[in-house]
Structure 1
Amino acid sequence: MKNCTNSLRVLTLAMLATVFFSCGNKQAKQAEELQAGSKEQAFQEVTTYPIPTSFEVIQMINKAGASFIIGICNPVDNVGKYMTEKAKAVNLGIYGADLAYSTTYQMKQETMNFLKVCKQLVEELNINAGFTPELALNVEKNIDNKDSLIVIFTNSYYETYRTLVQNQKESLSLLVVAGSWIEGVYITSQIALTSRDNTEFIKILANQKAPLAKLMELMTPRADVPEVKELMDMLAPIQAIYNKVEGEKLTNDQFQKLMEEITKVRNALV
């Protein structure tokens, strides 16, 4: 009887140990999954394009009824004069906005031209993502489908940005983002200048206050990088104008000053 009781105790302990071990494994697995999920979420937050893309800005312009202005973009012939890493990165952003502009307005030849220079700059910056041979094939297949092209190019820009961040080239990624933002605002300001009724375009410009603030916030921790600091100094007068903007309106004086400053900065970079 005693042996039977002892055996029962051993069996019970074994069963309890199995249960606890199983629960422990399950909890450990859940903890690992939670930790992995947190890491993945943090990674996604870090590598997500931080402000509205130039495609989003250009689409707003298009919906507001703006016509395509020939000659407003950075000439593709300029690509050969960008020798420094900073110039290449900033103008990759600028050409990216021009690509968004030409794509949205279905300017096929301009789209192919801007795609070509973007690809060239990506290669010169050794970014092994974004503007790939597969992208070129997709563009050719969808050249008549504006919506598909916008998705293709937007995803390409996301991938380029993500790759730069993953490869610890955050400074370069910010230069690309800044270039794209600058060109988007420049194009919008030029359209607002030439439009009879520029109410909607002024609203689009006013709404760029938050993206610029976010961009400057992201650049601040890297202000010790000369190229980033130089660009921050160039953008500072523009931010000073935006700091006085309230809501979705710009006064005539604010618009004139913004247009002058963004044109000066943009022309200095291209």
Structure 2
Amino acid sequence: MMNVRHILNFFAVGALLFLVAACGDDKKKSKGELEAEAEVFEEAENQLIEEIDKVVHDMPPPSEVPYMLMATGADFNADIINPVENAKKYYNSADKAAMNLGAYASDIGYLSSYDQVQDALKYMEASQKLADQIGISSAFELEMMERFEKNLGNKDSLANLINYAMEVAEQKLEETDRLQMVALVLSGSYIEGLYLSVMVLDTYPEDLLPEESKNLILEPIVRVIIDQRKSLEDITQLLKDLESDPIIADVIAEFDILKELYKEDLKNIDERIKNQDPTLKLDKELLVDIIKEVKRIRGEMVQ
């Protein structure tokens, strides 16, 4: 598939040539030439959307990481999700609304996984308002909200509904050529899911269990965090391939730092796991720098 940056460069060059040709002489292009140009532009745009769809497909849906955290046996912690009251802080910024719409999707997945259904409904209502701020309120239309409320006793149905709502939101943004908003929603969902993971790991009581028993519980969470490397690579590349604005530039800078920490702190980790390196301990100490950076990025996202 053509690299998206090449596509965008092609757009820019094509537009410039078109303006020069239009201003430089009085010759009018034939209908066939105009139609051919339109086809080229449409094809390039479709390729860009396909690239976004691939990233969306490869990333875990909002409910997946929270469900994996619940499956490890870690207790629910209401303090680690983004308070629903924060939603009103994002109403005056489309970029903030988009990122925290993604964050709330992961929070809803976390709440639903632990049967915190009434709170999950409040977050759905807040998400509806955030979606309205970026012009996609139909992703959380009345029928969707009613279906969510009717399924409050079924965590699997709730997970499917929030995943579906986010798919609709991304589709609506693509249809209106707001691809930057799609990338920011994905970024918010990604960083919130990663934050929930590191906080479950970081806040686990030190003296609750013997060391060996504790490590058996926490090792799957460490693996969840390690496995987020691929999604980080994909979403960072997507952000770089889109036209930048100050918010996107900031997110790229933050994600680039996080990528370097993954690279340094987890050097040769796959080989060591594969070879069952007896000196390798999959515990919090392995991720100290990553945990610190994720906390910082997420703190700036929700403020």
The interval holding the TM-score normalised by the smaller chain is: 0.7 to 0.9
Gaps (5+ residues) in structure 1? Answer: 1-38
Q: 1 CA distance for matches of 2:103 and 2:52? A: 22
SS of the equivalent of 1:129 reads: helix
Name 1:67's counterpart in structure 2: 75
Q: What is the TM-score of this pair, normalised by structure 2?
A: 0.71
1:95-150 Cα shifts (integer Å, max 9, x gaps) = 11111110111101210111011000001111143211111110121111111111
SS of the equivalent of 1:130 reads: helix
Contact 1:96 1:180 in 2 (8 A): yes
1:166 positional shift: 2.1
1:236 positional shift: 1.7
Q: What is the TM-score of this pair, normalised by structure 1?
A: 0.80
Distance 1:242 1:223, change over 3 A: farther
Distance 1:79 1:43, change over 3 A: closer
Distance 1:260 1:42, change over 3 A: closer
Q: Does 1:263 align with 2:295?
A: yes
User: Which of 99, 102, 119 does residue 93 from structure 1 map onto?
Assistant: 102
Contact 1:57 1:184 in 2 (8 A): yes
User: How many residues are paired up?
Assistant: 232
Distance 1:254 1:166, change over 3 A: farther
- Between the aligned residues of both structures, percent identity stands at 25
User: Which of 45, 56, 61 does residue 64 from structure 2 map onto?
Assistant: 56
Contact 1:241 1:254 in 2 (8 A): no
Q: 2 CA distance for matches of 1:40 and 1:225? A: 22
> Which amino acid in the other structure matches residue 88 of structure 1?
A
Greater shift after overlay, 229-238 or 170-179?
229-238
> Which amino acid in the other structure matches residue 157 of structure 2?
S
Q: Does 1:220 align with 2:240?
A: yes
Gaps (5+ residues) in structure 2? Answer: 1-44, 205-213, 274-280
Name 1:138's counterpart in structure 2: 147
1:54 positional shift: 2.4
Distance 1:43 1:269, change over 3 A: closer
1:75-94 Cα shifts (integer Å, max 9, x gaps) = 11111111211111111111
Contact 1:130 1:160 in 2 (8 A): yes
User: Which of 118, 121, 137 does residue 109 from structure 1 map onto?
Assistant: 118
1:188 positional shift: 0.5
Contact 1:47 1:166 in 2 (8 A): no
Contact 1:58 1:100 in 2 (8 A): yes
Q: Does 1:238 align with 2:258?
A: yes
**1:146-161 to 2 correspondences below 5 Å:** 146-161=155-170
Greater shift after overlay, 199-208 or 189-198?
189-198
> Which amino acid in the other structure matches residue 288 of structure 2?
Q
Distance 1:224 1:108, change over 3 A: closer
Q: 2 CA distance for matches of 1:46 and 1:223? A: 13
Contact 1:58 1:104 in 2 (8 A): yes
Contact 2:62 2:109 in 1 (8 A): yes
SS of the equivalent of 2:139 reads: coil
Contact 1:88 1:121 in 2 (8 A): yes
Greater shift after overlay, 141-150 or 250-259?
250-259
Contact 1:223 1:229 in 2 (8 A): no
1:184 positional shift: 0.5
Distance 1:224 1:65, change over 3 A: same
1:168 positional shift: 0.9
Contact 1:92 1:121 in 2 (8 A): yes
1:177-214 Cα shifts (integer Å, max 9, x gaps) = 00111110111001112333311100000000001001
1:261 positional shift: 0.5
1:225 positional shift: 2.7
Q: 1 CA distance for matches of 2:284 and 2:153? A: 39
Q: 1 CA distance for matches of 2:228 and 2:117? A: 28
Q: Does 1:180 align with 2:189?
A: yes
Name 2:16's counterpart in structure 1: none
Q: 2 CA distance for matches of 1:42 and 1:185? A: 26
